[in-house]
Amino acid sequence: MSVGPIALMLINSFKLDVDIISGTSGLLFLPTIQNYETALCDILPYELEHLDFCSLKFGGAFINSLTIALISTLLTLLIGCMAAYALVQFQFMGRDTVSGTTLMVRMVPPPILLVPVFGLWNNELCIGKTTLAG
Protein backbone atom coordinates (compact mmCIF):
# COMPACT_ATOMS: atom_id res chain seq x y z
CA MET A 1 0.00 0.00 0.00
CA SER A 2 2.83 2.42 0.72
CA VAL A 3 4.82 1.28 -2.31
CA GLY A 4 2.27 2.73 -4.75
CA PRO A 5 2.94 6.45 -4.20
CA ILE A 6 6.70 5.88 -4.21
CA ALA A 7 6.48 3.88 -7.45
CA LEU A 8 4.26 6.58 -9.00
CA MET A 9 6.76 9.27 -7.99
CA LEU A 10 9.63 7.28 -9.50
CA ILE A 11 7.69 6.69 -12.73
CA ASN A 12 6.71 10.38 -12.96
CA SER A 13 10.33 11.43 -12.55
CA PHE A 14 11.04 9.91 -15.97
CA LYS A 15 8.13 11.72 -17.67
CA LEU A 16 8.06 15.16 -19.25
CA ASP A 17 6.11 17.90 -17.46
CA VAL A 18 3.43 17.79 -20.16
CA ASP A 19 2.91 14.06 -19.63
CA ILE A 20 2.62 14.47 -15.86
CA ILE A 21 0.10 17.34 -16.02
CA SER A 22 -2.12 15.77 -18.69
CA GLY A 23 -4.49 13.25 -17.14
CA THR A 24 -4.38 10.91 -20.13
CA SER A 25 -0.85 9.60 -19.68
CA GLY A 26 -0.62 6.22 -18.01
CA LEU A 27 2.13 3.67 -17.80
CA LEU A 28 2.91 3.87 -21.52
CA PHE A 29 5.25 6.81 -22.14
CA LEU A 30 8.65 7.60 -23.58
CA PRO A 31 11.05 7.76 -20.61
CA THR A 32 13.49 10.66 -20.41
CA ILE A 33 16.14 11.87 -17.97
CA GLN A 34 15.46 15.54 -18.72
CA ASN A 35 14.14 16.24 -15.21
CA TYR A 36 17.31 14.83 -13.65
CA GLU A 37 19.46 16.84 -16.05
CA THR A 38 17.60 20.02 -15.12
CA ALA A 39 17.94 19.37 -11.39
CA LEU A 40 21.65 18.52 -11.62
CA CYS A 41 22.60 21.10 -14.27
CA ASP A 42 25.20 22.79 -12.04
CA ILE A 43 27.39 19.67 -11.65
CA LEU A 44 26.97 18.03 -15.08
CA PRO A 45 30.13 18.03 -17.23
CA TYR A 46 28.17 18.86 -20.41
CA GLU A 47 25.84 21.64 -21.57
CA LEU A 48 22.12 20.99 -21.78
CA GLU A 49 20.28 21.75 -25.02
CA HIS A 50 16.87 22.27 -23.40
CA LEU A 51 18.15 24.69 -20.74
CA ASP A 52 19.44 28.19 -21.49
CA PHE A 53 20.50 29.15 -17.95
CA CYS A 54 21.14 26.96 -14.93
CA SER A 55 19.67 28.81 -11.97
CA LEU A 56 19.34 25.75 -9.75
CA LYS A 57 22.07 24.82 -7.29
CA PHE A 58 20.55 21.45 -6.38
CA GLY A 59 23.55 19.37 -7.43
CA GLY A 60 26.00 21.15 -5.15
CA ALA A 61 23.57 21.08 -2.25
CA PHE A 62 22.98 17.37 -2.87
CA ILE A 63 26.73 16.67 -2.77
CA ASN A 64 27.06 18.68 0.47
CA SER A 65 24.14 16.85 2.09
CA LEU A 66 25.51 13.49 0.99
CA THR A 67 28.95 14.32 2.40
CA ILE A 68 27.55 15.44 5.76
CA ALA A 69 25.25 12.40 5.98
CA LEU A 70 28.07 9.96 5.24
CA ILE A 71 30.50 11.55 7.69
CA SER A 72 27.93 11.74 10.50
CA THR A 73 26.85 8.13 9.89
CA LEU A 74 30.43 6.88 9.98
CA LEU A 75 31.20 8.83 13.16
CA THR A 76 28.02 7.56 14.83
CA LEU A 77 28.84 3.98 13.91
CA LEU A 78 32.42 4.32 15.09
CA ILE A 79 31.55 5.86 18.45
CA GLY A 80 28.56 3.54 18.97
CA CYS A 81 30.59 0.41 18.22
CA MET A 82 33.35 1.47 20.60
CA ALA A 83 30.81 2.21 23.35
CA ALA A 84 29.02 -1.11 22.81
CA TYR A 85 32.32 -2.98 22.93
CA ALA A 86 33.23 -1.27 26.22
CA LEU A 87 29.82 -2.07 27.72
CA VAL A 88 30.05 -5.74 26.78
CA GLN A 89 33.71 -6.54 27.40
CA PHE A 90 34.79 -4.49 30.40
CA GLN A 91 33.65 -4.65 34.02
CA PHE A 92 33.30 -1.12 35.45
CA MET A 93 31.19 0.59 38.04
CA GLY A 94 27.88 1.82 36.62
CA ARG A 95 27.85 -0.54 33.63
CA ASP A 96 24.42 -1.93 34.53
CA THR A 97 23.07 1.57 35.10
CA VAL A 98 24.25 2.75 31.67
CA SER A 99 22.86 -0.37 29.98
CA GLY A 100 19.51 -0.08 31.77
CA THR A 101 19.19 3.63 31.04
CA THR A 102 19.95 3.05 27.36
CA LEU A 103 17.33 0.30 27.21
CA MET A 104 14.69 2.45 28.94
CA VAL A 105 15.31 5.41 26.64
CA ARG A 106 15.03 3.17 23.57
CA MET A 107 11.72 1.72 24.82
CA VAL A 108 9.94 5.12 24.90
CA PRO A 109 7.90 5.64 21.70
CA PRO A 110 8.93 8.84 19.89
CA PRO A 111 5.36 10.28 19.69
CA ILE A 112 5.21 10.27 23.50
CA LEU A 113 8.09 12.76 23.54
CA LEU A 114 6.03 15.22 21.48
CA VAL A 115 3.45 15.75 24.24
CA PRO A 116 5.68 17.94 26.46
CA VAL A 117 7.03 19.74 23.39
CA PHE A 118 3.48 20.60 22.34
CA GLY A 119 2.76 21.85 25.87
CA LEU A 120 5.80 24.14 25.76
CA TRP A 121 4.89 25.48 22.33
CA ASN A 122 1.25 25.93 23.25
CA ASN A 123 1.85 27.71 26.56
CA GLU A 124 5.06 29.64 25.94
CA LEU A 125 4.87 30.52 22.27
CA CYS A 126 1.15 31.23 22.12
CA ILE A 127 0.06 28.78 19.46
CA GLY A 128 -3.55 29.43 18.57
CA LYS A 129 -3.59 32.95 20.01
CA THR A 130 -3.84 36.08 17.95
CA THR A 131 -1.01 38.03 19.60
CA LEU A 132 2.14 37.18 21.51
CA ALA A 133 0.74 38.92 24.61
CA GLY A 134 -2.20 36.50 24.72
Q: What is the pLDDT of residues 3-52, one digit of tens each?
A: 988 988 898 899 988 888 887 667 788 888 888 888 888 787 787 777 77
CA distance 9 to 18: 15
pTM of the model: 0.58
113 secondary structure, DSSP code: G
Q: What is the pLDDT of residues 110-133, one digit of tens each?
A: 888 888 888 887 777 666 666 555
The yes-or-no verdict on residue 81 having pLDDT over 90 is: yes
CA distance 54 to 14: 20
Element (H, E) at 55: none
CA distance 100 to 60: 43
Query: 128 in helix, strand or coil?
Result: coil
How much is the pLDDT for 131?
57
Domain positions in the chain:
97-134
Mean pLDDT (whole number) for 80-107: 93
Classify residue 41 as exposed, middle or buried by CB count within 10 Å of its CB (0-12, 13-18, 19+): buried
Burial of 21-39, coded b for 16+ CB within 10 Å and e otherwise, reads eeeeeeeeeeeeebeeebe
